[in-house]
Each structure stands twice: as structure tokens, then as C-alpha cells.
């Protein structure tokens, strides 16, 4: 996973999420990768492939990855592309 290192002032602004990528299991047992507000919907046979595509879509932008199973239970919620380190 790649991340962007921000200075102290930029860190606060960088916490704003630019994109949310969702990975959800559909009724047929496949994993769908979607971005709310966009028409893109890609289906994968494995969760690993779906996660890989979701991270690729997010890139290095401040984003979040949400993974849910077929019953809409939250399996994973991760912020991507944000790394704020305080310097002494």
C-alpha cells in the first residue's frame, strides 16, 4: 500500500476523503467493486482480486475502502493514501 507523507499543516487537509471504494458480495457470491456516484461496477470471483482492484482505483488519493459481506456486515474499513507523521 502506498501512502503520502504530509507536513503538519497539510495533514489536517489531507484527512478529507476524496473517494470511497466499496467491495460487496452480491447474491451470486461474487465480489463487486463500486464507487458511489459513478456507474462503474466490476465483478470479481475472489475477495483478494476485488481488494486489489479497489486499492488500484483509490491510488494514492486520500480514500477509504469499505468491504461488506452478502449480509451487509462490515468486514473491513480502511483509510488509504493518508500518512500523517508529526515531526519533532
Mean pLDDT in residue range 48-77: 93
pLDDT of residue 60: 81
Other CB atoms within a 10 A radius of the CB of residue 51 amount to 19
pTM of the model: 0.73
Mean pLDDT in residue range 71-82: 90
Judge whether residue 85 has pLDDT over 60.
no
Judge whether residue 1 has pLDDT over 90.
no
Judge contact between 47 and 56, C-beta under 8 A. Answer: no
Q: What is the pLDDT of residues 29-46, one digit of tens each?
A: 999 999 988 888 899 999
Amino acid at each position: 500500500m502506498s501512502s503520502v507523507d504530509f507536513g503538519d499543516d497539510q495533514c489536517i487537509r489531507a484527512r478529507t476523503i476524496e473517494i470511497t471504494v466499496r467491495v460487496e458480495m452480491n447474491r451470486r457470491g461474487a465480489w463487486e467493486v463500486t464507487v458511489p456516484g459513478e456507474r462503474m461496477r466490476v465483478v470479481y470471483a475472489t475477495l483478494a482480486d476485488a481488494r486489489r482492484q479497489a486499492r488500484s482505483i483509490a491510488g494514492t488519493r486520500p480514500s477509504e475502502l469499505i468491504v461488506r459481506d452478502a449480509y451487509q456486515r462490515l468486514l473491513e474499513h480502511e483509510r488509504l493514501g493518508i500518512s500523517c507523521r508529526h515531526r519533532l
